[in-house]
Amino acid sequence: MKAATSLAGLALVVMRAISQAPPQVPKPSMIKSETPIQCAPGSSIGVDMRQEYLEFRLSDMFFGTRGHGRTDESAVCDMDVEFVSWFYKWRVAISDVTYSGRLNLTNGVQLYELSSKADFRYIHLENYHPIVQPEVRNLSTAVMIDNKGDVAIGGDGDFLGDFEVKGKASELVWSPCFDGGEGQGFDQTQIAFVIHGTTRDPGGNGEGQFVDGLTARFGLVWEECLPYREEKHAWGQTRIDDWETCTYREPNSNQTSRTIPRDVNLRRGLDVGFRRQ
């Protein structure tokens, strides 16, 4: 049995035109998990990035209770992924997300919600020419997709089978225009992902779990662009100036290296460039 869902906020068929893409895709250089029991780098996070999509295979995702007296159970993966080797004169957006896997639900348990959020982060070294201490970095962010959809898989007796649920981004939110040096020089690029699922057990006697975890595939759209430095450094829905400062130990000195979180100046960045799909 296979369940396919197309409800409010979700689409069975995602229409997107990809007329062009860079000849090579960036490489994940680091993954940090806030929920290692559900998704751990090196053991239970599989990454496959191609021109058309970025896919995560989360083999240890499972549903657990959120508190006493509650019949809902949640599964969540909260991770940051850093990328290097973005191709020169391209930018990217996330158009959709596809959740898939296999479920084992008993005694009326129902999978009723799947959601994902991806927050692009651009970290820029401000005083790079020349580099002087303390080094000062600014942080710019934009939410590329924030999809939350109601689904209805199971809920009547037992269910054992494959499922697939597709959701669309409300609009295309573009990354900065890449100059090819991100992740290797003065700039860092990360995407923070939160992938979440929830089941309910009205009778309190059933069980519900993924069989071999959950797969989340994010559809990618690419666009050629010109990487103007001023526009790139002002990119973002939200920007934090002086987000981080770092002072290094001088030779023959007892002073230790330290990172100093400074008072932040939170302000809106320039429009990241929204485009309706």
Greater pLDDT, 37 or 204: 37
pLDDT, tens digit (0-9, with 9 covering 90-100), for 135-164: 777 888 999 999 998 899 999 899 999 999
Task: Report how far residue 21's alpha carbon sits from residue 38's, in angstroms, rounded to the nearest whole number.
Answer: 33
pLDDT band at 230 (very low <50, low <70, confident <90, very high): confident
pLDDT, tens digit (0-9, with 9 covering 90-100), for 95-128: 999 999 999 999 999 999 999 999 999 987 776 6
Q: How deeply is 264 buried, as exposed, middle or buried, from its count of CB atoms within 10 A (0-12, 13-18, 19+)?
A: middle
Compute the average pLDDT of residues 252-257.
52
* CB neighbour list of residue 106: distance below 8 Å, 6 or more residues apart: 158, 206, 207, 208
Residues 80 and 191 sit within 8 Å (Cβ to Cβ): yes
Amino acid at 136: V
Residues recorded for the chain: 277
Lowest mean pLDDT across 95-104, 165-174, 266-275:
266-275
Q: Phi then psi for 67, rounded to 5 degrees? A: 165, 165
User: Which secondary-structure segment (H or E) carries 230?
Assistant: helix 229-233
pLDDT of residue 234: 80
User: Which secondary-structure segment (H or E) carries 172?
Assistant: strand 172-173
Sign of CA dihedral 151, 221, 189, 275: negative
pLDDT of residue 138: 80
